[in-house]
Amino acid sequence: MKVTFPHMGHIWLCVKTMLEYLGVDLVIPPPSSKRTLALGVRYGPEFACLPLKLNLGNFIEASALGADTILMAGGCGPCRFGYYAQVEHAILQDLGYRYELVVLEPPERHVGQLLSRIKVITGNNSWRQVYRGVKLGYQKIRAVDELEMAIHRLRPRETIPGSADRAFLEALREIERASDLAELAVAQRQVKEILKSVPTEERDVLRIGIVGEIFTLLEPFANLDIERRLGRMGVEVDRSIYLSEWVNDHMLFGLIKGLRSRRDACRAALPYLRHFVGGHGQETVGSTILYARAGYDGVIQLLPFTCMPEIVAQSILPVVSADLDIPVLTLTFDEQTGEAGVVTRLEAFVDLLERRRRGRGRVRQEGTESKRGLRVTKA
Amino acid sequence: MSRKVGIPGALLYYYYFPLWQAFFQALGAEVAVSGPSTKSVLNRGVELAVEDACLPVKLALGHVAELAGKVDYLFLPRLVSVASREYICPKFLGFPDMVRQTVPDLPPIIDVNVNLYRRQNKLYTAFRAAGKIFSAGEARIFLAYRRGLAALGKYWKLMGEGFSPEEAINLLNRSSPRCPQPSNAARTIPEDGPAAASDKAPRPEREKPVVAVIGHPYNIYDPYISMNLLKKLRQAGVRTATAEQLPETVVRREAAYLPKRLFWTLNQRMTGAAFYFLRSGRVQGLLQVTSFGCGPDSMTGELIARRAAGHGDMPFLNLVLDEHSGEAGVLTRLEAFLDMVRQKQEGGRPG
């Protein structure tokens, strides 16, 4: 059995850690690329959302590397994701790929159903071992999230272009290498050193909150690396969903305290959207409100084309934007999305935010302008 | 003076209107329905909606805008779930909020939650909350609710007999309940259903091929949105069959062939019906109508298309509708599809 799974940001690092800890053979699909997308577009349903197409491409590419079992999460709607695995599997079957499918569905009757599905993958490992593997995986993903947050702060302040990104890759390798909790602790100290070595200067930077659908938020290939682009344009970004927070909210029932929780966002959304709408629709509205309250300069909503929960949110955001006086830009992604179009709109948006700030007389350092502006480097 | 409740003639109007109408009338309110859909209604909706919204939502916003300012209340129940462990679609969950944030000059909105996701939840909860707004007593609300359910039962019975929603509503509102002939004359009810009406039909009618039309009720039954699809098919000399004619038990039994239970009620009905029609061998063609940007359709449409492909020679057409659909394009494809249907009926292999 060689297990594979779809890409979504750095989730591969978490799954790889867990499965390797348990001695399960795995194939990490090649990072999502134009080829992955082209495969997904060719064989996937035309109107399916972008994540499904990328998943499909991942599985086809992983099959070439010997994968024979798919590990996927399930769901009970109303977002389409809950039915992804079954549709993808049907397509792969028709294409002649012989994949075993293991879907971790929320249990319908009792928790035993979920446990037995996990057992298919974990085999003879004891539950104690499984627990340890999951714990290590979770700690790693938390470490990666904290690293990303640090990089979001460093990027707009680096004095040597690209140094923050180089540090990120180096730090990521440190975290990846750790094979137990003790090593991870050492790695995290190492990461701190690496981050400290990035030369920065204090600047008055714009702050943008990025909200939207989880896959598009977390997968840089899907969102054309928007965080890095904004960072290099001199913007400090924050993302409304980090993987560890999502895992804590949805799989650990909020067991780990002190993390930002979706509950706050949903509560904030209530005056505008009184009911959950699946996916992250309510979180998107709520997070926008929270960013406005926290004094962010703007918010960018990301969604895959035809994403249902995000379209509900998108319909409501203009009112939130007007009420709380915070500019909101919505970017929709699919296989037709062109880099130039996205870059142009990002530049215009950043320009607008800068003008607003200047209008309010909050920009004090004169030197910052030229450093921000329209300096866009190819990612 | 009785108060006027506005109900948009869109979305699940096609499934529940008789219930809503009877309920509010029994409470002494007047019921106003928007529509029918026209170009200007749709254009109004397109103006109000975000560009990426699907066609039915855009149309529904147009209907709401038409009612706004003309009624005392707007009835927009939040249809979270109408069956245990199922939803409709995220846009139904958020529709009242989308309306509130996009349509100007709104009267008060009655957006009671209809949520039967948990088995112990009761439909009456929603109607009780709605009834309170009309300051009616508990008993009166309950009686109104029962009257609504009775109307709904009759309505679905008529649809089962092959009447279209429009015909069935007209029949219910006219007190003498006899109408010449249901337009969806092709009875394809299974062995365990009531006797097939098609056998009673005059001979030439029985020899016409049957085409199953699979799609959301608010797409296939809206004459403007579907460009009179059902009528066009009948005029072209075929009988039509739709999912609404099949009993709930049949569509659920057929949908159980899916690898995982669907969590969208409407798509479960569509998929179950499509599987039934394909399997029963009583139809000579399958016409799937989807709207551009419909999320659930993009998934089940794929599963239905794959199943249809497995039935080798079954003529299959997937018609995608949006606000830019041109009638000429639809007609051409329909004609080609009907050619295949006729060929199949004559025994030749299509294509």
CATH number at residue A349: 3.40.50.11900
What letter does residue B210 receive in the DSSP assignment?
A: E
State chain B's mean pLDDT as an integer.
89
Tell me whether residue A120 is in a domain: yes
Averaged pLDDT, B178-182: 60
- A209, A112: one domain: no
Instruction: Report CB contact under 8 Å: A47, B262.
Output: no
Q: Are residues A41 and A119 in the same domain?
A: yes
The pLDDT of B39-50, averaged and rounded, is: 95
Both A101 and A156 in one domain: the answer is no
Pick from A352, A320, A345: nearest CA to A226: A345
A243 and A324 fall within a common domain = yes
Check: CB of residue A114 under 8 Å from CB of residue A107: yes
Q: Assess if residue A285 is contained within a domain.
A: yes
Domain boundary among A103, A125, A147: A125
**Same domain, yes or no: A275 and A325:** yes
Q: Which of A89-103, A246-260, B158-172, B243-257 shows the lowest mean pLDDT across its residues?
A: A246-260
pLDDT digits (tens, 9 = 90+) for B52-65: 999 999 999 999 99
**A119 assigned to some structural domain:** yes
Count of alpha carbons within 13 Å of B51, Cβ hemisphere only?
4
Q: What is the distance between the alpha carbons of residues B226 and B164, in angstroms, rounded to a whole number?
A: 14
Mean pLDDT of chain A: 91
Closest approach of chain A CAs to the CA of B257, in angstroms?
A: 12
- Shared domain for A264 and A338, answered yes or no, is yes
Residue-wise pLDDT tens digits, A54-110 = 999 999 999 999 999 999 998 888 999 999 999 999 999 999 999 999 998 877 677
Q: Is residue A130 part of a domain?
A: no
User: Residue A333: pLDDT band by 50, 70, 90 thresholds?
Assistant: very high
Chain centroid offset of residue A368 CA: 30
Chain A residue numbers touching B82 (CB-CB < 8 A):
none
| Cross-chain residue pair B90–A78, CB shorter than 8 Å | yes
What's the CATH number where A7 sits? 3.40.50
Task: Give the per-residue pLDDT at B138.
Answer: 93
Dig out the tokens for B139 from the structure. 């008993």
A131 located within any domain = no
Residue that finishes a domain, picked among A104, A125, A146: A125
Q: Which of A45-49, A92-96, A163-167 has the lowest mean pLDDT?
A: A45-49
How far apart (Å, rounded) are the C-alpha atoms in residues B218 and B165?
Answer: 10
Contacts of A105 in chain B (CB under 8 A): 260
Scanning A290-309 for CB atoms below 8 A from B yields: 303, 305-309
Are A79 and B90 spatial neighbours (Cβ–Cβ below 8 Å)?
yes
Within an 8 Å CB–CB cutoff, is residue A115 touching chain B?
Answer: no
Yes or no, beta carbons of B94 and A83 under 8 Å apart:
no
Asked if B50 contacts B67 with a C-beta cutoff of 8 angstroms, the reply is no
Is the same domain home to A210 and A347? yes
In a shared domain, residues A114 and A171? no
Q: What is the DSSP letter of A378?
A: -
Contact with chain A for residue B87, Cβ under 8 A: yes
Same domain, yes or no, for A158 and A262? no
Gap between the Cα atoms of A131 and B185, Å rounded: 61
| Domain extent at residue A45 | 3-125
Q: What is the per-residue pLDDT for B201?
A: 57
Question: How many structural domains are present in chain A?
Answer: 3
Contact between B299 and A77 using a beta-carbon 8 Å cutoff: no
Query: Which residues of chain A make contact with B292, given a CB cutoff of 8 A?
Result: 47
Q: Which runs of consecutive H residues, i.e. helices, occur in chain A?
A: 11-21, 34-43, 50-64, 84-95, 111-122, 127-154, 163-177, 181-196, 214-218, 226-232, 243-250, 262-269, 281-293, 308-324, 339-359, 368-371
Judge whether B275 is closer than 8 Å to chain A, CB to CB.
Answer: no
Q: Using the beta-carbon criterion (under 8 Å), do B94 and A312 form an inter-chain contact?
A: yes
Model confidence at A375: pLDDT above 50: no
Check B101 against A276: CB less than 8 A apart. Answer: no
Residues A46 and A101 in one domain: yes
Q: What is the pLDDT of residues A131-141, one digit of tens each?
A: 999 999 999 99
In this complex, how many residue pairs, one in chain A and one in chain B, have their CB atoms less than 8 Å apart?
Answer: 130
Report B:196-235 residues touching A (Cβ under 8 A): none
Domains of chain B (ranges, CATH numbers) = 4-172 (3.40.50.11890), 186-345 (3.40.50.2300)
Are A226 and A350 members of one domain? yes
A172 and A247 share one domain: no
The string of pLDDT tens digits covering residues B297-348 is 999 999 999 999 988 889 999 999 988 888 899 999 999 999 999 998 887 5
Q: Which of A73, A103, A125 is the last residue of a domain?
A: A125
Q: Kindly state whether residue A40 falls inside one of the protein's structural domains.
A: yes
